[in-house]
Amino acid sequence: MQSLDVNYVLVVFGGVTGYSSDDINKFLWMVRIGGGVFPVIKEPDYLVNGEYRIDKGAAPKMLNCLMYKLCYYRFGELTTEYGKPPGYDRVRGVEIGNKDIKLEYLEEAFTTSNWIVRIYKVKPPKNRS
């Protein structure tokens, strides 16, 4: 990200409010477009039995990708709907599969009260010893 001179990353997330035009719903298009440019990105790596999932049955590559982490960071602590477990995504109708998300290169800078807009700041590089 530093080579691209990126300081902040914005994601649109609808899992709290039920807003279905969020970035995680558009994510497979990002994978398809990226795979057209970089052959190392393969859509089947993000699918399970041909399905796009974000729950505990999701593909390991999906659960570990940056888009997933930025959308669902701290979401596993949040109750979105009465009678549903913490981390219940109201758009996709499932409990997320990874509730213990750690960010290494980014830190949360701002999240709106309804979580639709989430902004992350790129951390400065660690000193080399």
Q: What is the pLDDT of residues 81-128, one digit of tens each?
A: 999 999 999 999 999 999 999 999 999 999 999 999 999 999 998 875
DSSP conformation class of 22: S
The backbone region for 50, taken as left when phi is positive above 0, alpha when psi lies in -120 to 50, beta otherwise, is left
**Taking the domains of the chain in order of start, what are their residue ranges?**
2-122
Starting at the edge strand found earlier in the chain, the sheet holding 117-122 runs: 8-12, 117-122, 106-111
Query: What's the pLDDT score for residue 96?
Result: 98
Average confidence (pLDDT) over 55-82: 96
Of 63, 61, 83, 82, the closest CA to residue 73 belongs to 63
CA distances to 1, 2, 77, 87, 104 from 91, in Å: 29, 33, 17, 12, 27
How many other C-beta atoms lie within 10 A of the C-beta of residue 38?
9
pLDDT band at 34 (very low <50, low <70, confident <90, very high): very high
The reported pTM is: 0.92
Average confidence (pLDDT) over 34-56: 95
